[in-house]
């Protein structure tokens, strides 16, 4: 049977035309539905995690923050901000940039007040409108109190802290085998999570040329202080200066302690649970 249009029988090329149009319209409708579904999923995510998510990642070197952070970023659609990246992104010609350079060029410690001012400016950018994840700040109790004061000016507060806990005795093996992708922060480990391209040399150690990121193929690197000797000092500093921050925020009920000394999938499940159950 030939198709009918306006009470007339339509056949041949005309029928093919209308079939093509109908198929095209169905394809457009399908794509529109997919876009609408994606938008709804994102809206649901914001509703689930609202109000604006201000999260801090805590954990000793090698605790697994770098492994879990990309998943948190994807789930919440908010940026992960490390202190180092923020500092490097400061316009050197700006007033804050000039101040920052005056300290760094003289080899002096950047005061907390200036660090907070720089972070405050970064948080005004559009990508932070729905929230942000701080990684590497605050490092001391004084910095935490300064952050609280800054957020209070806009009627906000830290509302979620992920504290990754791993025994010190486990961290050395993790740290000394860690390789990182600089741009994304993705973390690999020669034993626990090696990159797909990794090859071992005659000495049993990874061939540096084969240590590349799975997603981009770009070279990975090891931090200069990812050594057993440096780790001891870093852990000493972490326990003395950073751990007390968890006590500062614990009374607010926003600290989610994650047992990071277990299978990655189990750790991820704990992280997701912590993201939903925020104050």
Whether 271 is covered by a domain: the verdict is: yes
Distance CA 253, CA 157 (A): 13
What is the token pair recorded at 165?
């806990």
Q: What is the rounded distance in angstroms from the CA atom of residue 269 to the CA atom of residue 264?
A: 9
Query: Concatenated DSSP letters for 57-115?
Result: EEE-TTSSHHHHHHHHHHHHT--EEEHHHHHHTS-TTSHHHHHHHHHHHTTPPPPHHHH
Domain count, the chain: 1
Indicate whether 116 belongs to any domain.
no
Instruction: Say what the pLDDT of residue 67 is.
Output: 86
Query: Residue 41 burial (CB < 10 Å; 0-12/13-18/19+)?
Result: exposed
Within a domain: residue 103?
no
Which sequence positions are flagged as catalytic? 65, 139, 178, 223, 234
Please check whether residue 142 is in contact with residue 37, taking contact to mean a CB–CB distance below 8 angstroms: no
DSSP element (H, E) containing 145: helix 141-152
Angle between helices 264-276 and 65-76 (to 10 degrees): 40
- Residue 173 sits in a domain whose CATH number is 3.40.50.300
Q: Is residue 163 part of a domain?
A: yes
Could you check whether the bond before residue 198 is cis, i.e. omega within 30 degrees of 0? no
Tokens of 248: 């500062």
**Residue 195 included in any domain:** no
Q: What is the pLDDT along the chain (279 residues), one digit of tens a residue?
A: 544 444 444 455 555 544 555 566 777 777 777 777 766 665 554 444 456 889 999 999 889 998 899 999 999 999 999 988 899 899 999 999 999 999 988 888 899 999 999 999 999 999 999 999 999 899 999 999 999 999 999 899 999 999 999 999 899 888 889 999 998 888 899 988 999 999 999 998 899 999 999 999 999 999 888 888 889 999 999 999 999 999 999 999 999 999 999 999 999 999 998 887 555
Q: Is residue 88 in some structural domain? A: no
Which residues span the domain enclosing 256? 53-81+130-177+222-276
- CA distance linking residue 146 with residue 159, whole number of Å: 16
* End-to-end C-alpha distance for the chain, whole angstroms: 64
Whether residue 5 is contained in a domain is answered as no
**Which pTM value belongs to this model?**
0.69
């Amino acid at each position: 049977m030939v198709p009918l249009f306006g009470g007339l029988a339509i056949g041949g090329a005309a029928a093919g035309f209308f079939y093509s149009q109908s198929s095209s319209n169905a394809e457009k409708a399908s794509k529109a539905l997919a876009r609408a579904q994606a938008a709804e999923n994102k809206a649901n995510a914001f509703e689930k995690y609202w109000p604006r998510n201000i999260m801090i990642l805590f954990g000793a070197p090698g605790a697994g923050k770098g492994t879990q952070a990309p998943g948190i970023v994807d789930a919440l659609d908010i940026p992960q901000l490390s202190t180092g990246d923020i500092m490097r992104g400061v316009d050197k010609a700006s007033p804050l940039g000039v101040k920052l350079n005056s300290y760094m060029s003289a080899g002096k410690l950047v005061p907390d007040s200036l660090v907070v001012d720089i972070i405050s400016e970064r948080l005004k950018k559009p990508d932070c409108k729905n929230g942000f994840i701080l990684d590497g700040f605050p490092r001391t109790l004084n910095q935490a109190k300064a952050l609280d004061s800054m957020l209070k000016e806009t009627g906000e507060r830290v509302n979620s802290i992920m504290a990754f806990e791993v025994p010190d005795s486990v961290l050395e093996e993790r740290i000394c085998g860690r390789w990182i992708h600089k741009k994304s922060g993705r973390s690999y480990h020669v034993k626990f999570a090696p990159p797909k391209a990794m090859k071992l040399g005659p000495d049993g150690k990874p061939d540096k040329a084969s240590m590349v990121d799975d997603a981009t193929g770009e070279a990975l690197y090891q931090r200069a202080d990812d050594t057993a000797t440096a780790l001891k000092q870093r852990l000493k500093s972490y326990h003395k200066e950073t751990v007390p921050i968890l006590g500062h925020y614990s009374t607010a009920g926003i600290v989610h302690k994650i047992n990071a000394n277990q299978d990655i999938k189990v750790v991820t499940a704990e992280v997701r649970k912590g993201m939903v159950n925020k104050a």
